[in-house]
Chains A and B, each alone.
Chain A
Amino acid sequence: DAGVTQSPTHLIKTRGQQVTLRCSPKSGHDTVSWYQQALGQGPQFIFQYYEEEERQRGNFPDRFSGHQFPNYSSELNVNALLLGDSALYLCASSFNRVTEAFFGQGTRLTVV
């Protein structure tokens, strides 16, 4: 039984570019949440997808958008990348939004 898988593991982008990160939730999970974790900080909630809709959103600009597919997998898109977007992006899956969250290994994004 695979856990939460994220791709790619590492990514280097240039300022102004766009990036798409992908997440496959743990088998049986229907909810995907995305977090941004800067070095030495706690994960910051970006948004949560449930039933293919964005249900909750943190304090992130509209440059951050997402999608959830019928198979519950999810994508995080970031447009017009800034240097400050460099961070570890974590995907967490859970069942019915409120149970324990299982985190993927994350995607390390570096913006240069």
Chain B
Amino acid sequence: GQQVMQIPQYQHVQEGEDFTTYCNSSTTLSNIQWYKQRPGGHPVFLIQLVKSGEVKKQKRLTFQFGEAKKNSSLHITATQTTDVGTYFCAGGGASGTYKYIFGTGTRLKVLA
């Protein structure tokens, strides 16, 4: 079945450093979503990418969807302590299926 892996599993950075998490699917995706989950909280939607090669920015966050629509990345510039949490990608399957397969997540810690 479809699998979505993320690397790294954990990342500790100093405040102000950059951070990137990578998401790889075993199958071609129709779209990909990114979520952030704070410790003890629930996933919060960040963005959805649909087009091959698409790049979207939200302030310090840059999201990219691969040309083959099988991988994606989230890059945070100049991390802040408020960025702490686990970042999940969720891959939407081929047309006609509506379930999202969540990745394994990357837990980010930001040291002040």
Chain B residues 22-67 with CB under 8 Å of chain A are 31, 33, 35, 41-45, 48
Query: Whole-angstrom distance from the CB of A64 to the nearest CB of chain B?
Result: 14
Say whether A48 contacts B99, CB under 8 Å: yes
Say whether A42 contacts B88, CB under 8 Å: yes
> Among the listed B35, B44, B45, B98, which residue makes an inter-chain contact with A97, where contact means beta carbons less than 8 Å apart?
B98
> Among the listed A41, A90, A103, which residue makes an inter-chain contact with B104, where contact means beta carbons less than 8 Å apart?
A41
Query: Whole-angstrom distance from the CB of A105 to the nearest CB of chain B?
Result: 5
B105 on the A face (CB < 8 A): yes
Contacts of B92 in A (CB 8 A): 98
Query: Whole-angstrom distance from the CB of A1 to the nearest CB of chain B?
Result: 16
Contacts of A33 in B (CB 8 A): 99-100
Say whether B98 contacts A44, CB under 8 Å: no
Contacts of A101 in B (CB 8 A): 33, 45, 100
Chain B 70-101, CB-CB to A under 8 Å as 1, else 0, gives 00000000000000000010001000011111
**Count of B interface residues, CB-CB < 8 Å:** 21
Q: A35 to B101: give the CA distance in the assembly, Å.
A: 10
Chain A 84-109, CB-CB to B under 8 Å as 1, else 0, gives 00000010100001111111111000
Contacts of B31 in A (CB 8 A): 98
Say whether A43 contacts B33, CB under 8 Å: no
Chain A 29-60, CB-CB to B under 8 Å as 1, else 0, gives 00101010000011111001010000111110
> Among the listed A42, A59, A90, A92, which residue makes an inter-chain contact with B105, where contact means beta carbons less than 8 Å apart?
A42
Contacts of B41 in A (CB 8 A): 105
Q: A85 to B104: give the CA distance in the assembly, Å.
A: 19
Q: A44 to B65: give the CA distance in the assembly, Å.
A: 22
Contacts of B97 in A (CB 8 A): 56
List 8 tightest A-B contacts by C-beta distance, closest first.
A42-B102, A97-B98, A56-B99, A103-B42, A100-B45, A43-B102, A45-B99, A42-B105
Residues of chain A whose beta carbon lies under 8 Å from any beta carbon of chain B: 31, 33, 35, 41-45, 48, 50, 55-59, 90, 92, 97-106
